[in-house]
């Protein structure tokens, strides 16, 4: 689906998608948590706390707290790297995939509604 957003249309779309999550009683994620979740799911590579911290230009403890919150909700999980047992990888979960699929559908529905009005 191609999006053409001008002016405040992008902000309205984002507002509607976030509002839909609140209405559906979805996880109340911070911008940082949502960013980490999207990076882990949309970038097919091994993710570590260090790598995520570098990508987001924040400290490792900040990312660790973020991963803690996402893990508690079951949206990501920590797994020991079999190639380097000292390293811990941040991986996708089914619950995280379902959340992001639902979120993507909400964004698409919000966009269609906005176009029809």
Residue 55: inside a domain, yes or no? yes
Res 112: pLDDT: 79
Band (2; pLDDT cuts 50, 70, 90): low
Q: Where residue 33 sits, what CATH number does that domain have? A: 1.10.10.10
Quote the tokens at residue 59: 């400290």
The parent domain of residue 60 ranges over 29-111
Could you tell me how many residues make up the chain? 117
29, exposed or middle or buried, with CB in 10 Å at 0-12, 13-18, 19+? buried
- Residue 10 within any structural domain of the chain: no
Q: Count of domains in the chain?
A: 1
Domain presence at residue 1 = no
Question: How much is the pTM?
Answer: 0.85
**Is 70 within 8 Å of 36 (Cβ atoms)?**
yes
Report which of residues 79 and 83 the model is more confident about: 79
């Amino acid at each position: 689906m191609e999006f053409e957003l001008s002016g405040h249309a992008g902000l309205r779309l984002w507002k509607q998608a976030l509002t839909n999550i609140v209405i559906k009683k979805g996880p109340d994620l911070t911008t940082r948590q949502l960013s980490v979740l999207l990076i882990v799911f949309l970038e097919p590579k091994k993710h570590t706390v260090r790598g995520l911290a570098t990508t987001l230009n924040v400290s490792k403890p900040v990312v660790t707290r973020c991963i803690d919150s996402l893990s508690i909700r079951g949206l990501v999980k920590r797994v020991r790297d079999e190639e380097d047992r000292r390293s811990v990888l941040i991986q996708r979960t089914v619950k995280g995939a379902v959340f992001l699929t639902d979120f993507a559908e909400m964004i698409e529905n919000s966009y269609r509604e906005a176009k029809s009005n």
